[in-house]
Amino acid sequence: MVKNKENSEDLDFWATNSEEGGWNISSTDEGSQKMNDEESEQQIKIQTGSDVVDDYFIEEETSEDERMIVNMGPQHPSTHGVLRLQVELEGEAVRRVKPIIGYLHTGMEKTGEELTYLQGPTNTTRMDYLSPFFNELVFSLTTEKLLDIEVPARAETIRILMTELNRVSSHLVALATGGMDIGALSMMIFGFRERELVLNFFEKTTGLRMNHNYIRPGGVAADLPDNWQKDVKEILKIIPEKLKDYDEMLLDNPIWQGRLQNVGIITPEECLAYGITGPSLRASGQGWDLRKMQPYSGIEKFDFDVPVLQESDVFARWRIKVLEILESLKIVEQAMDNMPKGPYKIQDKKVTPPPRKRLDESMEALIHHFKIYTEGFKVPEGDAYVAVESPRGELGCYIVSDGSSKPFRMHVRGPSFCNLQALPIVMADSPIADAVAAIASLDPVIGDVDR
């Protein structure tokens, strides 16, 4: 018996962090089959620092035999990547849920310490892979705050244009995969079809469909292509039409409504206690949007609304994404009409590399070019935190600089990571069939959770 136990611990090393206390190791190779010891309500309150009522604990009268623990993931099509969930079932009802993350841990924050500030966006863009522009933007804004520089007006407006288009493409994927998870397969095809429109514009501008490395400290990497207004006008024309199709197909569909209304409710108090931001918070009646509250990149100059819904269920979280796409398109239209002329990079020789043709004419330019690409530019000592409103919520970047050309420490506050905390309260005491709908509505991107 003792020998058997040792074996199982060896096998379990990969599956779970078995050194953690409170874990009961069973003798299968599927990882731990038991969850943490039940905690008292008081302990939970101490942990979360709140008075949120955690009503998802198992009632005393049910015996151990009636409960079953099911592992969902990490290889599961509905977990939006490689999320693993331990779900404790009592018949058909989900009683407790434990999300297990780390299956996509890439060590990006550590890699960020070995890349210069100019190379940094290459790394950060791969974190939340559905909203790459936001990751680049938040890293660039933080670096610029440390450098104490201001980018030209054209660069700022290009940044707004690209990030808001990125919000559209990201929400389209959220709608598409959300539809697919609940069984509306046509939604998946439609969502990805419209996303291609936006991605074509990204490819034309940045050279890549995803992971662009386009927004960099000091501005953007390249100017917009010729006749870019034509592509943006096409996007502005087609996407609202298609959104009407989605509404006809799903939002007005009684089956869809009956399936999602009053499912997976997060109350506003729970949102605040768990630090949930983004569409999930706004679907719970809290009008918190960093674009209005802490404007960045001159977004305060644009005229747009923040949609807020009161229902707090999966249906509201779905509907708010459609509304946010329309608001983002408003910003895109204004950015297109009022695009300032001028340079798209800061005219600071210490930050911006000289253009290629200057290298043949000027020794000084050649030296600057060489220095910036090999050594990088030095950033003054200090630390800075900047947050932007990514499609999933507050995306923040905290950089500590020791005066060299590489960050001493880079930390990213990922919205998906914080929103994922809500999964146990969203899924608890609901039928197992609603579990997938609840995950899809929170729209976690595992690249952003694990980094």
Partner 1 sequence: MYSPDNIFTTTIDKAVRWSRTQSMWPVTFGLACCAIEMMAAGSAKYDLARYGMEVFRASPRQADLMIVAGRVSQKMAPVLRQVYDQMAEPKWVIAMGACSSTGGMFNNYALVQGVDHIVPVDIYVPGCPPGPQSLMHGILTLHDKIMAGEINR
The residues binding partner 1 (CB under 8 A) are 14-15, 74-77, 81-82, 102-108, 110-111, 122-123, 126, 129-130, 173, 176-177, 188-190, 192-193, 195-196, 199, 209-211, 446-447, 450
Query: Which CB, 126 or 282, lies closer to partner 1?
Result: 126
**Cα-based torsion angle of the residue sequence 251, 252, 258, 264 in order, rounded to the nearest 10 degrees:** 20
Among residues 258, 274, 345, 338, the alpha carbon closest in space to that of 301 is found at: 338
Residue 139 or 288: the one with the smaller Cβ distance to partner 1 is 139
Task: Please say which residue, 109 or 333, places its beta carbon nearer to partner 1.
Answer: 109
- Provide the residue type at 217 as one letter: P
Complex with partner 1: residue 114 or 305, whichever CB lies closer: 114
Minimum distance of partner 1 from residue 78's CB (angstroms): 9
Helix (H) or strand (E) holding 385: strand 382-390
Q: Give 108 or 386: the residue with its C-beta nearer to partner 1.
A: 108
**352, two tokens:** 């911006």
- Nearest to partner 1 of 105, 350 (CB atom): 105
Q: Minimum distance between the CB of residue 65 and partner 1, rounded to whole angstroms?
A: 29
Residues near 354 by Cβ (< 8 Å), separated by ≥ 6? 362, 365, 368, 369
Cβ atoms of 398 and 384 within 8 Å: the answer is: yes
To partner 1, the closest distance from the beta carbon of 199 in angstroms equals 8
Provide, rounded to whole angstroms, the least separation between the CB of residue 186 and partner 1: 10
For the chain, how long is the longest CA-to-CA vector?
84
Distances (CA, A) of 31 to 12, 64, 94: 5, 19, 20
- Residue 438 Cβ, how far from partner 1 at the closest point, in Å? 19
Least distance to partner 1, CB of residue 173, Å: 7
> Closest distance between partner 1 and the C-beta of residue 280, in Å?
21
Classify residue 187 as left (phi > 0), alpha (psi -120 to 50) or beta.
Answer: alpha
Q: Considering beta carbons, is residue 74 or 218 the nearer one to partner 1? A: 74
- Cβ contacts of residue 51 below 8 Å, gap of 6+? 45
Pick the closer one to partner 1 by CB: 192 or 398: 192
Q: How far apart are the first and last CA of the chain?
A: 39
Rounded least distance, CB 189 to partner 1, Å: 5
Shortest distance, position 145 Cβ to partner 1, whole Å: 25
- CA dist 36 → 20, 21, 32, 85 (Å): 10, 9, 10, 13
Whichever of 68 and 189 has its CB closer to partner 1, that residue is 189
The sign of the CA dihedral 101, 103, 108, 111 is positive
In sequence order, the β-bridge partners of residue 362 are: none
**Which residue carries 């507050």 as its tokens?**
394
Q: Helix (H, G, I), strand (E, B), or coil: what is residue 408?
A: strand
Closest approach of Cβ 75 to partner 1, in Å? 6
Coarse DSSP helix, strand, coil percentages of the chain, rounded to the nearest 5 percent: 50, 10, 40
Q: Could you tell me which of 151, 117, 167 has the C-alpha nearest to residue 404?
A: 117
Instruction: CB nearer to partner 1: give 190 or 315.
Output: 190
